[in-house]
Structures are given as C-alpha cells and as structure tokens.
C-alpha cells in the first residue's frame, strides 16, 4: 500500500505533481504515479487518467451463476446488451466524493411497469462497525470487556443471547478517536470480516476467538460444533417426557439456568417423584437454578469439568435412596454422565444405559450448527446524500418511510427506526469482495437507493444525471472500468 503525499491544509492540491495525478475519490487525495494504485488499491493511474481497478457489479436473474466481465465504452465492445432486468449495484461504481456532484450512476428502469430510478454509489463510512453473533455456549468474556485485534482495542463484548454471544466492533471512536495504529487495525479487521475473511480476536479477561462469517467460531483453539438447544430449564421442558421411566433424576447443567427435572414444572406435571437432590446455586423457581458455577469452557458454558461439584448432600427424608439413577447432561449433549447412589447416598459413575443413549442424542440432534454471523452497520447520513438529491433531508425521510428502498450490493438492509439512515446488512448476502477501504481510515460499502422516478424528481433528485441502461453500457461512469454481470440473487437461490 502506497503512502499518500502530504497536502497543504489551506489549499486544494494541484491536479498534477510531475507525472503523478491526483485522485479525488476520497479525502486522502493521493498523487498516483503512472501504472500504480493509490493508497486504497481501488483507483489507479492508467495512461494519465484515474480508473477504478474493480469492475462495477451488476446483477441479473437471467445470467448464469459465476458472472462475466464486459467492457464499458471500449472499442472492442461486441454490442451485446445487458439483460433487461440488470440491476446496477454500488460495488465498483466509484464514490460521490467530493460530494458536490451527483452519484456515479443514476439509472432509470421499469419495474413491474413502473418508472423507477436507482441511485448507485460507494459510500465512505467512518461511522460504521460490525455486529458479530457467535453461536456458542462457551463464556467468551465479561460483558463490556474490550475486544482486541493485534493488541489494539477494536470493540467490546455486549449481551449474551439465547445460545449466542454478541460483539460490537468498530465505530467512529475506534476508527478515528484513538491512535493511528488503533484506527488502522480496526479498519483492517472490519474490512476482513465484511469480506468474509477470518479474524483473530482476544477478549480482555476472556478467550481467544477466531471469527469468520458463515463459519464455526474457534474458541481458545477449539472449533465449536453446535449451539445449545436452550438453557437447562428449556431442555427439561423439551425432553422430560423422553426420560420418564428411564431415570430417576436429570440435571441439565447450564451457565445461566441449570434445570432439575424432579423439581421442574414439567416433571411435576408428568408425576415425577422427589429425589432429595440438593443443588449448590441460587434457586430461582422450582427446578431452575442460577449461578451454579462461574462461566467458562466446561459443561454448559460453566467452569465445571466434574458436574458433581454442584451437588450438595442428598436428603433421604426427601426421597434419596441407594440405587437412585441420575443423569447429568449439558445443554448441547456434548457432556453427559450417568450415576447411581450407593449405600451412603454418594453418586457413583456408571456406564450410560443403552436406553438413555437416544435421549442424549436427541439433545445433540436438536442443537443447530455453531456459526458466526457478521452484520455490517453504518450511518448513511452526511454529505453522500447530496449525490442523490439537492435536498438531503428528503432522502432520509424517504428511506425512513420506505418510499425509497435501500440495498447494499443488491442485498436487503434493515433500516433502524428514528433519525438518520442507519442500516444493517448481512455481509454474506453481498457478492464477494463488496467492501473496500480508504486510509483515512474508513470503510467503503456499496449503496443503492431505488424509488419511483416521479418521487425522485419531487425530492430534488439530479434529473439531468439520470441515464438508461444503454447509456450506462455505452459511456460507463466517471472512472473508467469494466462491468461484471452476476446472477441475482446473490446467495439464496443462486444455484437454482
């Protein structure tokens, strides 16, 4: 990666510096030598003109999966038209920066007989991050703990959800509010995650985790296989009837809520007899116990390697007796053990009876594969809206009222309620390599705004910049490049 030449703070740099020419696609404004790329590797100096190094990605449901690259406005153009349903995405399109100008592509089309306009751009995001959902029952770190990449703070642990741990990474304070190293490392980690690559993270007071969208997390060197079927109480609610008559007591060990079938409401309804069991923990409601252990990498997300540690003395007056059969199992079915009480009411480990084996496998079967989910989250406010309309607030209101459909690389976005245009998108829904960066540091993400042509004109859109698909094909964009036509949709149904 080349380092941009320093620029004076009080003047716009000249367009040329010897054989180098200035690229104005981002605030860095690199001087790029002939045959070289700028600091972002996305723009190059080709024959004295700044060109986009990646093709514009277009989507069509009539193109074979895998895509093909066709030229824009080049002499070897074979005259083959784009499919009628071609959708121009922001991937490779170029940016609105500096934002006095219209978006790189403002394309007219007809959808179901309606005249539509799609405004396409690559947006530069300092205000962005990723939300990571990690399916695991393991304890990754305390809530609020700092998450690091390469030793630099890039985010923090948020809440634990049902069978998953959540991380919040990036954001403007890590990208621009800390040291230069923190900003660079944060940007690099976000870019890798958004483009589907693996990133190694460490959590203060917790674990080492390797995260990759669509892949199983690796926690402290061990790949996770499955997320829990539910908490200990939920597991009993689901499977108590499967154990009835085969065993006298079942304890489902869980970091959050450990379940005891003889005390649980499900067991009571089924007529389960008391066993005199005692659990070391905070009793919540009958058959549900909190804090039986500190969180960790053991049974059910606890520190336990021996589940008997959570048991107190058995009470003969409340049903304990020699020969009582006890099954202890984790919420994923990965850990299980079978015991029988001896004459002193001490559990003795025994081989798992064959009749209980299917019940343990049933827990395992009901656990879903453990994967990582990465959602890019950005605030599409600021001046990029000026590339869409001369009155930016109207775009914000149009997106919020769903008059304008916002997509990212053709993928559906979730729009947060409230002010601004804050959206989230699953990175696996975008074509590979959809995200880029600029060394300010900031991420670059594709955006498309689609709405009725009349609504676009009413909001103050750049009517003189609207082009049809043939004109896009014949003249390309501000930055010369090629077009890659891929099949739509990007992921689901792509091979149908």
Same domain for 358 and 245:
yes
What is the token pair recorded at 337?
A: 């053990």
Q: Are residues 465 and 439 in the same domain?
A: yes
Q: Are 21 and 9 in contact (CB under 8 A)?
A: no
> What is the phi-psi region of residue 165: left when phi exceeds 0, alpha when psi lies from -120 to 50, beta otherwise?
beta
pLDDT at 6: 40
How many whole angstroms separate alpha carbon 268 and alpha carbon 263?
7
Give the residue numbers spanning the domain of 239. Answer: 232-365
How many domains does the chain fold into? Answer: 4
pLDDT at 1 over 60: no
| Chain segment 206-226, per-residue pLDDT in tens | 999 999 999 999 999 999 988
Average pLDDT over residues 352-360: 96
Query: What is the C-alpha separation between 41 and 39, in angstroms, rounded?
Result: 6
pLDDT band at 3 (very low <50, low <70, confident <90, very high): very low
What local confidence, expressed as pLDDT, does residue 459 receive?
95
Instruction: Residue 209: count other Cβ atoms within 10 Å of its Cβ.
Output: 25
Looking at the structure, tell me whether residues 305 and 350 fall in a common domain.
Answer: yes
Pair 23, 102 in one domain: no
Residues 219 and 147 both lie in one domain: yes
pLDDT band, residue 317 (cuts 50/70/90): very high
Question: In angstroms, rounded to a whole number, what is the distance separating the alpha carbons of residues 147 and 191?
Answer: 16
Is residue 439 domain-resident?
yes
Examine residue 310 and state whether it is found in any structural domain, yes or no: yes
Q: What is the pLDDT of residue 303?
A: 92
Mean pLDDT, the chain, rounded, equals: 89
| Rounded mean pLDDT, 389-412 | 95
How far from 16 is each of 22, 51, 73, 118, CA to CA, in Å? 6, 15, 26, 34
Q: Is residue 496 domain-resident?
A: no
Q: Is the domain of 26 the same as that of 141? A: no
Segment 34-38 mean pLDDT: 90
Over pLDDT 90: what percentage of the chain? Answer: 68
Asked if residue 374 has pLDDT above 60, the reply is yes
CA distance linking residue 176 with residue 156, whole number of Å: 16
In angstroms, the CA 123 to CA 447 distance is 7
Whether the per-residue pLDDT at 312 is higher than 70: the answer is yes
Q: Read off the pLDDT of residues 415-428 as tens digits, 9 standing for 90 and up.
A: 999 999 999 999 99
Q: Are residues 385 and 480 located together in one domain of the fold?
A: yes
CA distance 400 to 66: 34
- Per-residue pLDDT at 73: 57
Domain boundary among 227, 260, 280: 227
For the cut 70, the answer to whether the pLDDT of residue 451 exceeds it is yes
How confident is residue 80, by pLDDT bands cut at 50, 70 and 90? low
Contacts of 261 (CB under 8 A, 6+ apart): 236, 240, 243, 249, 250, 251, 252, 267, 272, 287
The whole-number pLDDT of residue 397 equals 95
Average pLDDT over residues 166-172: 97
């Amino acid at each position: 990666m080349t380092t941009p030449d320093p620029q004076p703070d009080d003047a716009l740099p000249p367009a040329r510096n010897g054989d180098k020419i200035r690229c104005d696609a981002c605030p860095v404004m690199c001087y790029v030598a002939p045959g070289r790329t700028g600091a972002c590797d996305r723009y190059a100096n080709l024959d004295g003109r700044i060109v986009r190094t990646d093709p514009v990605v277009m989507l069509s449901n009539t193109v074979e999966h895998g895509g093909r690259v066709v030229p824009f406005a080049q002499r070897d153009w074979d005259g083959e038209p784009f499919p009628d349903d071609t959708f121009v995405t922001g991937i490779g399109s170029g940016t609105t920066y500096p934002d006095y100008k219209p978006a790189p592509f403002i394309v007219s089309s007809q959808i179901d007989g309606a005249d539509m306009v799609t405004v396409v751009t690559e947006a530069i995001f300092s205000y962005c991050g990723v939300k990571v959902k990690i399916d695991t029952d393991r304890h990754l770190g305390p809530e609020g703990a700092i998450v690091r990449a390469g030793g630099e703070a890039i985010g923090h642990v948020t809440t634990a959800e049902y069978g998953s741990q959540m991380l919040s990474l990036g954001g403007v304070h890590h990208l621009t509010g800390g040291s230069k190293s923190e900003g660079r490392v944060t940007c690099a980690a976000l870019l890798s995650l958004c483009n589907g690559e693996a990133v190694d993270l460490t959590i203060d007071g917790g674990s080492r985790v390797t995260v990759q969208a669509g892949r199983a997390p690796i926690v402290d060197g061990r790949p996770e296989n499955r997320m829990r079927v539910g908490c200990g109480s939920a597991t009993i609610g689901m499977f108590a009837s499967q154990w009835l008559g085969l065993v006298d007591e079942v304890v489902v060990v869980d970091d959050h809520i450990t379940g005891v079938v003889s005390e649980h409401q499900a067991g009571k309804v089924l007529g389960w007899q008391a066993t005199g069991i005692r659990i070391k923990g905070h009793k919540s409601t009958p058959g549900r116990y909190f804090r039986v252990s500190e969180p960790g990498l053991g049974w059910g997300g606890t520190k336990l390697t021996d589940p008997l540690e959570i048991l107190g003395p058995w009470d003969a007056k409340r049903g304990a007796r020699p020969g009582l059969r006890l099954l202890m199992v984790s919420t994923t079915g990965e850990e299980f053990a079978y015991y029988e009480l001896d004459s002193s009411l001490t559990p003795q480990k025994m081989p798992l009876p064959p009749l209980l084996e299917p019940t343990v496998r049933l827990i395992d079967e009901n656990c879903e594969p453990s994967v990582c989910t990465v959602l890019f989250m950005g605030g599409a406010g600021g001046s990029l809206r000026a590339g869409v309309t001369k009155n930016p607030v109207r775009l914000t209101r149009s997106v919020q009222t769903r008059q304008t459909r916002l997509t990212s690389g053709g993928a559906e976005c979730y729009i947060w309620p409230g002010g601004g245009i804050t959206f989230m998108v699953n990175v696996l829904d975008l074509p590979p390599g959809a995200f880029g960066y600029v060394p300010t540091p900031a991420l670059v993400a594709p955006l498309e705004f689609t709405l009725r042509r009349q609504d676009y004109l009413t909001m103050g859109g750049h009517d003189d910049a609207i082009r049809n698909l043939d004109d896009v094909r014949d003249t390309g964009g501000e930055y010369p490049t090629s077009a890659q036509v891929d099949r739509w949709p990007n992921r689901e149904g792509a091979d149908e």
